[in-house]
Amino acid sequence: MQRLAMDLRMLSRELSLYLEHQVRVGFFGSGVGLSLILGFSVAYACYYLSSIAKKPQLVTGGESFSRFLQNHCPVVTETYYPTVWCWESRGQTLLRPFITSKPSVQYRNELIKTADGGQISLDWFDNCSSKCYMDATTRPTVLLLPGLTGTSKESYILHMIHLSEELGYRCVVFNNRGVAGENLLTPRTYCCANTEDLETVIHHVHRLYPSAPFLAAGVSMGGSPGDSNVQPCLKTTPSCQDTACRPSLAICLFLSKRMLLLNYLGKIGPKTPLKAAATFSVGWNTFACSESLEKPLNWLLFNYYLTTCLQSSVNKHRHMFVKQIDMDHVMKAKSIREFDKRFTSVMFGYQTIDDYYTDASPNRRLKSVGIPVLCLNSVDDVFSPSHAIPIETARQNPNVALVLTSYGGHIGFLEGIWPRQSTYMDRVFKQFVQAMVEHGHELSSM
């Protein structure tokens, strides 16, 4: 024992002298420094490959849809490799708008009237130079739905238009009332439970191109303070088009168009001109979304900021609401739940906030969806808790496919060392819409 103790003391002393010498020489230029860096890198790589990079879970309501996706949309069965230095949910969500590029897109704007005297702004990308579909009457059309206060200028929308352009498709972006710089003509905005405006847009586009394949995709940024670097603004000019006055990032999941799209499909069933649809980072249960965002860290990072943005979006049109809503009370809201309780639920005639949130949750209508729908979610999305994803309901509807990644955050899905040009979500979008346009007939024959 004494001999062993002496050996240990000697080894310890020699090791200390060696390390002191190496530190003086320079840590990163020393063998120890390089060994530590190499060892950490190997350990991190092993952890990343074993615990982070995984194949998504594919949940379908029928074997036919599953085979179809495996054959024509293989990305949903391939391993998703999140950006190695940014795979955590909040990091993916917050960094995406800062990292990804914003392709240049030239739009043609159209204002259409609604039955109640309001107006909706549509931004068209006609893709007249399409070589695959030179006939405009049969050129596939993709209706894009950004978040409720989002517009056609969001980076994720621009990326989807760029991908659609490569495929030869035409796109049209549905901007909700009053968010794209146009005047608000009636004292009404929007909510994800009321599908009237979306129905108006869908029927309008279909009447223009009844022979063209027609698809839709519902997307939003959700919790990301950075796409256009906008800040909450209290200007009240109804027609304000200042970028800083457009809170384009205030898109909470329970106020998002992908929920609106699913609620529409659940209400209308198969009687829609849409051939197929895709949603990304949908909030399935509004109550669960709200509870998750009210946790202290999530409230600090997302909830309060989004609330101020929502307040800013309605305050621009304050003069339209003062007769029916206490706007001073609305402007004092500290959370999205409080905003919905004081503004959204009152505007659309709900007795309580619980009534509104129940009606807004698309999980209760998923069983009635009558066309092929692909829904991409990350199970680490703080805006959409994994326990609220309706897996069992999806398994009961042959038209529904859930693609669930282990990581990706909320509309993040970053991949690659420096993900400027493309994300996993973009690849899912491109492969799915192409599969439905070119091979969708196979589903009906399966």
pLDDT at 150: 73
| Pairing between β-strand 276-280 and β-strand 373-378 as defined by DSSP bridges | parallel
8 Å CB contact between 286 and 280: no
The per-residue pLDDT for range 107-147, each reduced to its tens digit, is 999 999 999 999 999 999 999 999 999 999 999 999 999 87
Q: What is the mean pLDDT of residues 226-255?
A: 34
Other beta carbons less than 10 A from residue 146's beta carbon: 29
CA distance 46 to 52: 10
Whole-angstrom CA distances from 149 to 245, 317, 328 are 11, 13, 20
- Asked which of 11-15, 17-21, 59-63, 238-242 is least confident by mean pLDDT, the reply is 238-242
Q: How does residue 36 score in pLDDT terms, banded at 50, 70 and 90? A: confident
* Active site residues per annotation: 220, 381, 410
Q: Tokens for 134, please give them.
A: 């030179």
DSSP string, 10-57: HHHHHHHHHHHHHHHH-STTSHHHHHHHHHHHHHHHHHIIIIISBPPE
DSSP string, 372-412: -EEEEEETT-TTS-GGGS-HHHHTT-TTEEEEEESS-TTTT
Instruction: State the average pLDDT over residues 42-60.
Output: 91
The least confident of 182-191, 198-207, 330-339 is: 182-191
The four Cα atoms 404, 410, 411, 414 give a dihedral, to 10 degrees, of -80
Alpha-carbon distance 57 to 12, whole Å? 50
**244-258: per-residue pLDDT in tens?**
333 332 223 333 456
H-helix or E-strand spanning residue 174: strand 170-175
The predicted structure's pLDDT at residue 132 = 94
